[in-house]
Amino acid sequence: MEQLLENFSLDLFVKQTILFLVLIFLLVKFAWKPILTALNDREESIQGALDAAEDAKKEMANLQADNEKLLKEARAERESMLKEARDMKAKMIEDAKSEAKLEADKMIERAQGAIDAERKSAIADLKSQVASLSVEIAEKVVKNELSDKQKQLSLVDDLIGKAALN
């Protein structure tokens, strides 16, 4: 250190100090402002990018919420359509059942009508046959009874007696 003090020159010190101050002045005037401006611009662009990213994140959240809402609405609409289809199916089945029952009732009614007509026809045919047989039997009986004169007189007397009672 002593050597430094011995070799110390005030003139050199002043020159170096002046040069140093001029260098600082030049740096402040020409380099410091552009560097600060560049740093400020860089900081602003980074902040802008961060703000844009935050806005994009918020927009993405909004879009996701909208998508969820649309998805819920679509699911609700699908459920509504399925319920409507099930109701329509049940109504169609019920209508088909009632129509089939009505048709079956009509068929049963027609069949009963046909059965009644056949029964009446059979009864009429049976009555006709019974009447025919009765006439035949009566003919044979009368023929047999009326072949004897005494029997004829007795039958006439019997019929007159019965006719007077009525």
Sequence letter at residue 166: N
How many structural domains is the chain composed of?
A: 1
The pLDDT-based confidence of 164 (bands split at 50, 70, 90) is low
Q: Is 130 exposed, middle or buried (0-12, 13-18, 19+ CB in 10 A)?
A: exposed
Range of the domain at 54: 9-165
Q: Is residue 43 part of a domain?
A: yes
By the 8 A CB rule, do 132 and 126 touch? Answer: no
Q: What is the pTM of this model?
A: 0.40
Closest CA relative to residue 137, chosen from 125, 129, 148, 126: 129
DSSP state of 30: I
Structure-token pair, residue 145:
């009874």
* 165 vs 60, more confident: 60
pLDDT digits (tens, 9 = 90+) for 22-39: 999 888 888 888 888 889
In this prediction, residues 48-53 reach a mean pLDDT of 94
Q: Is residue 3 part of a domain?
A: no
Is residue 80 predicted with pLDDT exceeding 80?
Answer: yes
In this prediction, residues 134-151 reach a mean pLDDT of 72
Q: Is residue 4 part of a domain?
A: no
Structure-token pair, residue 40:
């400020």
Q: Is residue 89 part of a domain?
A: yes
Is residue 165 predicted with pLDDT exceeding 60?
Answer: no
Per-position DSSP letters for 74-89, written without gaps between them = HHHHHHHHHHHHHHHH
